[in-house]
């Protein structure tokens, strides 16, 4: 946690649930000059989806759903669009899940976002409903999500959320604690100077110990760590060897949706969409000739392995890629497994801190001194 965190938060009333309390806090913050605009998930007018919306008129906040049932667009992508031309002093409060905030922090290290005037507000995350399930039946999706938020039972949430250890991680400037907090309350936890300043502008003083929230969070994270270990062991077996990997990715139609929604895949021209990888018909025929046939579109495995090698040290396991996959490939789970192993080797956690350097831009004398067969 950042400096400024003193083990104290502000216990806010939330008689109508956490979303209403967060809306009220945002409204008050805007009125008191803590921010000029608010980036927050909001239900679309048709009522069957949610999008990040930049709100200038606080009256619009009535439709905001800070803790929304689905992650349609990774919030880090929205922050990139907002700040890509530089920041001209407009102060924005961005409400997002911890995995989105981690992606923002990772993108800052990659010089893709400017956070000078952005205040990030995160919250304990119950997970999100798989996007395709929600699209099929939004009403049922809302019901399932409301139950998960009330009980913290994540079994109907996305597989990646069931194993997510960052679902309570306080990586933003302000964090909203919900686990282990008494019913009808929300615990507002400041992180660092920006968080403390925002709390002061709200006219609040951190005076409530966060110990119970911390204990409940640690317990939940330990459970999720166990689930992740079991899932990874299972996936490692399934993805073992070339044939295992091909089976796991068998349904892939090479549409590259997973790459387009990934906050970390930010290259303007992706190598896998470039003319460089377009061959002539006779090249394809030669390849088909060698093994008798050629799956088209070709190079599916090359795409996944290439993308993995480019960004896996920065993968925040947000699951956006899997949500965007039209054929149900467990692509986030696979990337998360490889990311976990690679990041562990470098003792690196993407998005944990802006100050922590990315492994491939640092040099350690003692790094990788052992060689495996």
Beta-carbon contacts of residue 218 (< 8 Å; ≥ 6 apart): none
83 makes contact with ligand SF4 (CB under 6 A): no
Of 183-242, which residues contact ligand SF4 (CB under 6 A)?
A: none
**Helix or strand or coil: residue 249?**
coil
Structure tokens at 214: 């911390």
Pick between residue 26 and residue 329 the one whose CB is nearest to ligand SF4. Answer: 329
Q: Which of 318, 337, 338, 349 binds ligand SF4 (CB under 6 A)?
A: 318
Pick between residue 69 and residue 190 the one whose CB is nearest to ligand SF4. Answer: 69
Q: Which of 24, 37, 60, 254 binds ligand SF4 (CB under 6 A)?
A: 254
Q: Give me the sign of the Cα torsion angle 134, 67, 128, 339.
A: positive
Pick between residue 119 and residue 163 the one whose CB is nearest to ligand SF4. Answer: 163
Q: Which of 18, 66, 127, 177 binds ligand SF4 (CB under 6 A)?
A: 127
Question: Distance of alpha carbon 11 from its chain centroid, rounded?
Answer: 26
Q: Within 10 A of 71 (CB to CB), how many other CB atoms are there?
A: 28
285 makes contact with ligand SF4 (CB under 6 A): no
Stretch that binds ligand SF4, among 53-61, 91-99, 182-190, 191-199 (CB under 6 A): 91-99
Please, what is the minimum distance in Å from the beta carbon of residue 300 to ligand SF4? 7
Stretch that binds ligand SF4, among 3-11, 159-167, 195-203, 269-277 (CB under 6 A): 159-167
160 makes contact with ligand SF4 (CB under 6 A): yes
Q: Which of 107, 329, 337, 349 binds ligand SF4 (CB under 6 A)?
A: 329
40: left (phi over 0), alpha (psi -120 to 50) or beta: beta
186-190 contacts, C-beta under 8 A, 24 or more apart: 186/11, 186/12, 186/14, 186/18, 186/21, 186/22, 187/9, 187/10, 187/11, 187/12, 187/213, 188/9, 188/10, 188/11, 188/12, 188/25, 189/5, 189/9, 189/213, 190/4, 190/5, 190/9
Please, what is the minimum distance in Å from the beta carbon of residue 329 to ligand SF4? 4
- Whether the bond between 195 and the residue before it is cis, its omega within 30 degrees of 0, is no
Q: Which ranges of 32-97 would DSSP assign to H, the alpha helix? A: 75-83
264 makes contact with ligand SF4 (CB under 6 A): yes
Please, what is the minimum distance in Å from the beta carbon of residue 200 to ligand SF4? 27
Positions in the binding site for ligand SF4 (CB under 6 A): 71, 97-99, 125, 127-128, 160-161, 164, 166-167, 252-258, 262-264, 315-321, 324-327, 329, 331-332, 335-336
């Amino acid at each position: 946690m950042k400096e400024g965190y003193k083990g104290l938060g502000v216990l806010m009333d939330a008689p109508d649930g956490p979303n209403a309390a967060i809306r009220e806090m945002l409204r008050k913050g805007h009125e008191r000059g803590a921010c000029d605009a608010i980036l927050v998930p909001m239900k679309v007018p048709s009522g069957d989806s949610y999008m990040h919306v930049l709100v200038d008129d606080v009256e619009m906040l009535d439709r905001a759903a800070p803790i929304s049932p689905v992650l349609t667009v990774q919030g880090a992508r929205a922050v990139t669009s907002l700040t890509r031309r530089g920041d001209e002093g407009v102060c924005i409060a961005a409400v997002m899940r911890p995995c989105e905030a981690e992606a923002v922090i990772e993108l800052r290290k990659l010089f893709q976002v400017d956070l000078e005037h952005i205040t990030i507000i995160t919250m304990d995350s119950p997970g999100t409903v798989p996007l395709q399930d929600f699209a099929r039946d939004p009403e049922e999706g809302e019901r399932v999500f409301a139950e998960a938020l009330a009980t913290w039972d994540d079994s109907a949430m996305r597989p990646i959320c069931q194993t997510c250890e960052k679902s309570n991680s306080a990586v933003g400037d302000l964090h909203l604690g919900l686990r282990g907090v008494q019913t009808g309350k929300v615990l507002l936890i400041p992180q660092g100077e920006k968080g403390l300043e925002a709390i002061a502008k709200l006219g609040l003083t951190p005076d409530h110990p966060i110990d119970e929230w911390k204990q409940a969070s640690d317990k939940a994270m330990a459970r999720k760590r166990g689930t992740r270990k079991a899932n990874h062991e299972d996936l490692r077996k399934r993805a073992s060897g070339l044939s295992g990997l091909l089976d796991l990715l068998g349904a892939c139609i090479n549409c590259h949706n997973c790459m387009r929604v990934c906050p970390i895949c930010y290259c303007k021209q992706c190598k896998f969409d470039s003319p460089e990888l377009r061959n002539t018909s006779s090249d394809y025929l030669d390849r088909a000739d060698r093994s008798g046939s050629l799956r088209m579109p070709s190079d599916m495995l090359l795409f996944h392995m290439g993308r993995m090698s480019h960004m896996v040290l920065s993968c925040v396991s947000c699951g956006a890629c899997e949500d965007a996959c039209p054929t149900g490939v467990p692509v986030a789970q696979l990337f998360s497994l490889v990311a976990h192993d690679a990041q562990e080797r470098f003792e690196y956690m993407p998005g944990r801190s802006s100050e922590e350097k990315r492994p491939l831009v640092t040099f350690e004398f003692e790094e990788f001194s052992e060689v495996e067969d």
